[in-house]
């Protein structure tokens, strides 16, 4: 079995009963909010779809965008949008990088590098990324 998305790290924002603490990315769905489609199970504290797929209902806490990753095989993708003010790029990226799932970081760094170079040629992309990741 693959390692769960959230390891034993006690400071992670994911809820104590989040399926991400038991399952790897792709083995559970992420919904925008609680819904009757994924009722709470008092037996183990998780939410499940009718087919048994575990569901997280706090995308901002687990660091993944909403998606039906397990139940429908949705690809794990994220779209980065930088602010229009170059002085806000590093701060914005810091929030994005530190609030997202590690599985998304490589893609976000590639997107950020490309977008910084295109939108803000006056900025050194590597320096901005170092500042954002610090």
Token reading at 60: 């901002």
* Per-residue pLDDT at 13: 73
The pLDDT of residue 110: 97
What integer pLDDT is reported at residue 5 of this predicted model? 64
CB under 8 Å to 98, separation ≥6 — which residues?
none
CB-CB neighbours of 76 under 10 Å:
15
What crossing angle do the helices spanning 102-119 and 89-98 adopt, rounded to 10°?
170
Output Rg (C-alpha) for the chain, integer angstroms.
17
pLDDT in tens, 31-47: 999 999 999 999 998 99
Sheet with 54-56: list strands edge to edge. Answer: 29-30, 54-56, 47-48
- Model pLDDT for residues 73-127, shown as the tens digit of each residue: 999 988 999 999 999 999 999 999 988 888 889 999 999 999 999 999 999 999 9
Q: Does the model's pTM come out above 0.85?
A: no
Phi, psi of 125 (to 5 degrees): -60, -40
pLDDT exceeds cutoff 60 at 1? no
* Per-residue model confidence (pLDDT) at position 14: 76
């Amino acid at each position: 079995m693959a390692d769960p998305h959230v390891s034993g790290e006690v400071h992670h924002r994911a809820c104590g009963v989040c399926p991400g603490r038991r399952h790897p990315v792709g083995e559970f769905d992420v919904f925008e909010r609680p819904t009757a489609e994924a009722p709470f199970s008092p037996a183990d504290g998780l939410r499940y779809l009718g087919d048994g797929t575990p569901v997280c209902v706090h995308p901002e806490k687990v660091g993944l965008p909403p998606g039906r990753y397990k139940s429908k095989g949705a690809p794990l993708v994220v779209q980065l949008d930088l602010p229009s003010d170059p002085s806000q790029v590093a701060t914005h990226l810091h929030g994005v990088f530190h609030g997202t799932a590690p599985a998304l970081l490589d893609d976000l760094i590639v997107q950020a590098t490309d977008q910084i170079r295109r939108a803000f040629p006056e900025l050194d992309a590597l320096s901005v990324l170092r500042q954002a990741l610090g």
